[in-house]
């Protein structure tokens, strides 16, 4: 019987050239790959296409997918059936470990704990690390059960970066449960540093998320460096799916709690991600993260061009805080203008007046500052930087301009479409009256990133854009402009995955040789075939079908 995924792929007429292999894919090679956790999913999807794949390995991969999709009940049902079969020792113990990971039963977890611990010498060496991590997790999760804490069985396991990290994670959870938050934070950050060395994306993200969440309300601890790291890895590794939104939730809450300037940029990012989501995804986010969405909406700035703002109670209450301060008497406005505003003789206040209040009273970013001021402060900063950066931009040669612009634009989270503005970028001298703030910001980000999230996005996007043949850059840009909005978003995702899955430590045999459906695209623009192939596998089946359909239309 054919594998279900293979049947679906055939129905979609998607043809991937499999790498020529020197032999059968072994469980050991799979274990080396899944050390990247859910980040290995596109590679595993590709491996499932192999006709020579051992059925036990195929089952294990499918169980990993179910776990990563949080389908624990379905996974447990399959595991129970598989454990009744006569599997190899290695598969049998992997099934037990997955059962421990998915079950809610403390009794089952403890029974598996003793089974693994008592038979650790029988477990193949290449699986033993996974078993040890599971044992350590169970010990720290149920620190009340009567079990002698296990050692790592051999000093050589202590040289494994993942083992060292997971031991620190389990110790940190214990410290946190005992109320020692600062020690838990430090151990978790130390674990993250180990995981950075061997590239374990999900471990890095979970570690930073937990560490920042635990410490965010400790007033005497500066965690700005960890916040910057978290922002960068969010931009680099995460595609803002529903299950990943918790990371943005933690980040914004921590920035607000610490009163870090980054909160406004993160709020803006969240606001724009939500705007772009389809209704079903948006509803799911609203159901699970309503409070953080409200926070983001309240402090997110707007880059829409506005000549005037409506006076409201929030605005008046804020400027009323200055009325007893002689230094800021009348907010630096004329007496008449001041009283017209405070007595509500006017319903609207123009932009120039808002900016005058900002400058005269040295208003800076703060959670107590109304959005009107935050938005205008942001626009003033954008204008100031743009006046410097536009000179640099105009002095760049055309090829560098296009590459820089595309990298910056494709790293954006806003729904901004530059079709009508592109002529101002490449064909005419800039005129501030014609260029809006979002376009100014895109130009500014060619030269600098005020937030590490965009630095992560730019780093992966540049791997794709910098690979495009010089004489094909303009053609790519024009073809991209012709896409519909949903197609543009899918192309952005494809481009980011191209850079994201360029992993030197993953063997070539785990990359598709190419994808015949887009061979023309690869050849036309001079792209890396294996990275294009794995980028397609990073899509789910429905996305993949849509992507290849419009790519086929682009060919015409």
Which of 375, 407, 427 is at the close of a domain?
375
| Shared domain check, 226 and 88 | yes
| Shared domain check, 90 and 68 | yes
Which of 375, 391, 411 is at the close of a domain?
375
Q: Quote the pLDDT of residue 429.
A: 66
Q: Quote the pLDDT of residue 11.
A: 35
Q: Which two tokens stand for residue 348?
A: 């609207």
What phi, psi does 355 have (nearest 5°)? -70, -35
Q: Quote the pLDDT of residue 19.
A: 46
Q: What is the mean pLDDT of residues 490-498?
A: 96
Q: With respect to residue 218, please indicate whether it lies within any of the assigned structural domains.
A: yes
Q: With respect to residue 7, please indicate whether it lies within any of the assigned structural domains.
A: no
Q: Categorize the per-residue pLDDT at 156 as very low, low, confident or very high, splitting at 50, 70 and 90.
A: low
Is 554 exposed, middle or buried (CB count within 10 Å of its CB: 0-12, 13-18, 19+)? middle
| Shared domain check, 351 and 259 | no
Which of 336, 352, 375 is at the close of a domain?
375
Q: With respect to residue 255, please indicate whether it lies within any of the assigned structural domains.
A: yes
Indicate if the pLDDT at residue 191 is higher than 80.
yes
Report whether 536 contacts 518 (CB < 8 A). yes
| Shared domain check, 136 and 110 | yes
| Helical ranges in 12-151 per DSSP H | 27-34, 41-47, 55-68, 72-83, 89-102, 106-118, 125-141
Q: What is the pTM of this model?
A: 0.88
Chain centroid offset of residue 308 CA: 36
Domain that residue 294 falls in: 24-299
**In the chain, what is the greatest distance between 2 CA atoms, to the nearest angstrom?**
89
Q: Which two tokens stand for residue 540?
A: 């789910």
Question: What distance in Å separates the CA atoms of residue 532 and residue 463, rounded to the nearest whole number?
Answer: 12
Give the chain's end-to-end CA distance (angstroms, integer). Answer: 37
Indicate if the pLDDT at residue 13 is higher than 70.
no
Question: What distance in Å separates the CA atoms of residue 547 and residue 553, rounded to the nearest whole number?
Answer: 10
Q: What is the mean pLDDT of residues 472-486?
A: 91
Highest mean pLDDT of the ranges 9-13, 18-22, 544-548: 544-548
Of 170-174, 323-327, 486-490, 493-497, where does mean pLDDT reach its minimum?
A: 323-327
Q: Quote the pLDDT of residue 304.
A: 86
| Shared domain check, 366 and 275 | no
Indicate if the pLDDT at residue 155 is higher than 60.
no
Question: What distance in Å separates the CA atoms of residue 413 and residue 505, rounded to the nearest whole number?
Answer: 30
Indicate if the pLDDT at residue 149 is higher than 60.
no
- Quick: pLDDT tens for 290-323: 988 999 988 889 898 888 898 989 999 988 888 7
Q: What is the mean pLDDT of residues 163-169?
A: 88
Q: With respect to residue 277, please indicate whether it lies within any of the assigned structural domains.
A: yes
Q: With respect to residue 135, please indicate whether it lies within any of the assigned structural domains.
A: yes
| Shared domain check, 174 and 122 | yes
For 222, half-sphere exposure in the C-beta direction (CA atoms, 13 angstrom radius) is 2
Q: Which residues pair with 350 in a beta bridge?
A: 308
Q: What is the mean pLDDT of residues 541-551?
A: 91
CATH classification at residue 273: 1.25.40
Indicate if the pLDDT at residue 3 is higher than 50.
no
Question: Which sign, positive or negative, has the C-alpha torsion 462, 381, 367, 223?
Answer: positive
| Shared domain check, 237 and 177 | yes
| Shared domain check, 312 and 291 | no
Highest mean pLDDT of the ranges 54-58, 463-467, 480-484, 539-543: 463-467
Q: With respect to residue 223, please indicate whether it lies within any of the assigned structural domains.
A: yes
Average pLDDT over the chain reads 87
- Quick: pLDDT tens for 259-282: 898 999 999 999 989 888 888 888
| Shared domain check, 247 and 223 | yes
Indicate if the pLDDT at residue 8 is higher than 50.
no
Q: Categorize the per-residue pLDDT at 147 as very low, low, confident or very high, splitting at 50, 70 and 90.
A: low
Q: With respect to residue 406, please indicate whether it lies within any of the assigned structural domains.
A: no
Q: Quote the pLDDT of residue 374.
A: 92
Q: Categorize the per-residue pLDDT at 1 as very low, low, confident or very high, splitting at 50, 70 and 90.
A: very low
Question: What distance in Å separates the CA atoms of residue 447 and residue 187, rounded to the nearest whole number?
Answer: 36
Q: Quote the pLDDT of residue 12.
A: 38
| Shared domain check, 331 and 257 | no
92 vs 133: which has the higher pLDDT:
92
Report whether 526 contacts 33 (CB < 8 A). no
| Shared domain check, 262 and 225 | yes
- Quick: pLDDT tens for 54-77: 999 999 999 999 999 889 999 999
Indicate if the pLDDT at residue 163 is higher than 50.
yes
Q: How many residues does the chain have?
A: 556
Q: With respect to residue 409, please indicate whether it lies within any of the assigned structural domains.
A: no
Q: Categorize the per-residue pLDDT at 22 as very low, low, confident or very high, splitting at 50, 70 and 90.
A: very low
- Quick: pLDDT tens for 444-465: 999 988 799 999 999 999 999 9
| Shared domain check, 203 and 331 | no
Indicate if the pLDDT at residue 355 is higher than 80.
yes
5 vs 188: which has the higher pLDDT:
188
Number of domains in the chain: 2
Q: Which two tokens stand for residue 208?
A: 């930073």
Chain centroid offset of residue 419 CA: 27
Q: Quote the pLDDT of residue 465.
A: 98
């Amino acid at each position: 019987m054919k594998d279900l995924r293979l049947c679906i792929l055939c129905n979609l007429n998607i043809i991937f050239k499999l790498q020529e292999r020197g032999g059968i894919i072994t469980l050991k090679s799979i274990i080396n790959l899944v050390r990247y956790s859910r980040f290995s999913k596109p590679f595993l999807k590709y491996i499932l296409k192999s006709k020579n794949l051992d059925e036990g390995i195929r089952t294990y991969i499918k169980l990993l997918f179910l776990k990563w999709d949080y389908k624990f009940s379905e996974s447990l049902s399959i595991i129970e059936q598989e454990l009744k079969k006569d599997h190899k020792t290695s598969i049998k113990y992997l099934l037990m470990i997955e059962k421990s990971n998915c079950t809610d039963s403390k009794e089952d977890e403890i029974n598996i704990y003793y089974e693994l611990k008592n038979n650790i010498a029988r477990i193949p060496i290449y699986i033993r690390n996974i078993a040890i991590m599971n044992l350590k997790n169970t010990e720290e999760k149920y620190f009340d059960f009567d079990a002698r804490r296990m050692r790592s069985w051999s000093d050589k396991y202590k040289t494994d970066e993942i083992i060292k990290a997971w031991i620190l994670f389990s110790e940190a959870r214990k410290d946190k449960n005992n109320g020692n938050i600062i020690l838990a934070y430090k151990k978790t950050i130390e674990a993250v540093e180990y995981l950075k060395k061997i590239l374990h994306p999900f471990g890095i993200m979970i570690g930073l998320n937990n560490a920042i969440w635990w410490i965010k309300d400790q007033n005497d601890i500066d965690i700005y460096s960890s916040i910057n790291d978290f922002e960068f890895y969010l931009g680099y590794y995460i595609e803002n799916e529903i299950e990943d939104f918790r990371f943005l939730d933690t980040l914004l809450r921590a920035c607000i709690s610490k009163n870090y300037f980054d909160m406004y940029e993160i709020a803006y990012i969240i606001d724009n991600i939500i705007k772009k989501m389809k209704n079903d995804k948006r509803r799911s986010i609203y159901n699970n993260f309503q409070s953080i969405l409200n926070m983001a909406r309240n402090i997110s700035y707007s880059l829409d061009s506005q000549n005037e703002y409506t006076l409201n109670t929030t605005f008046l209450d804020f400027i009323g805080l200055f009325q007893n301060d002689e230094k800021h008497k009348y907010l630096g406005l004329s007496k008449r203008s001041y009283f017209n505003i405070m007595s509500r003789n006017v319903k609207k206040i123009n932009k120039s007046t808002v900016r005058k209040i900002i400058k005269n009273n040295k208003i800076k970013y703060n959670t107590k500052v109304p959005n009107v001021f935050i938005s205008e402060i942001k626009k003033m900063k954008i204008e100031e930087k743009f006046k410097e950066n536009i000179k640099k931009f105009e002095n760049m040669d055309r090829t560098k301009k296009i590459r820089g612009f595309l990298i910056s634009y494709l790293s954006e989270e806003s729904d901004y479409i530059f079709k009508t503005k592109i002529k101002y970028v490449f064909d005419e001298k800039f005129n501030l009256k014609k260029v809006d703030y979002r376009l100014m910001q895109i130009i500014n980000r060619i030269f600098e990133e005020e937030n590490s999230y965009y630095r992560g996005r730019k780093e992966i996007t540049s791997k794709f854009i910098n690979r495009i043949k010089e004489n094909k850059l303009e053609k790519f840009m024009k073809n991209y402009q012709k896409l519909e909005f949903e197609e543009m978003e899918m192309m952005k995702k494809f481009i980011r995955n191209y850079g994201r899955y360029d992993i030197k430590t993953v063997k070539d045999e785990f990359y598709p040789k190419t994808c015949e459906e887009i061979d023309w695209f690869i050849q036309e623009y001079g792209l890396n075939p294996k990275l294009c192939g794995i980028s397609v596998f990073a899509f789910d089946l429905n996305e993949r079908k849509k992507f290849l359909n419009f790519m086929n239309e682009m060919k015409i």
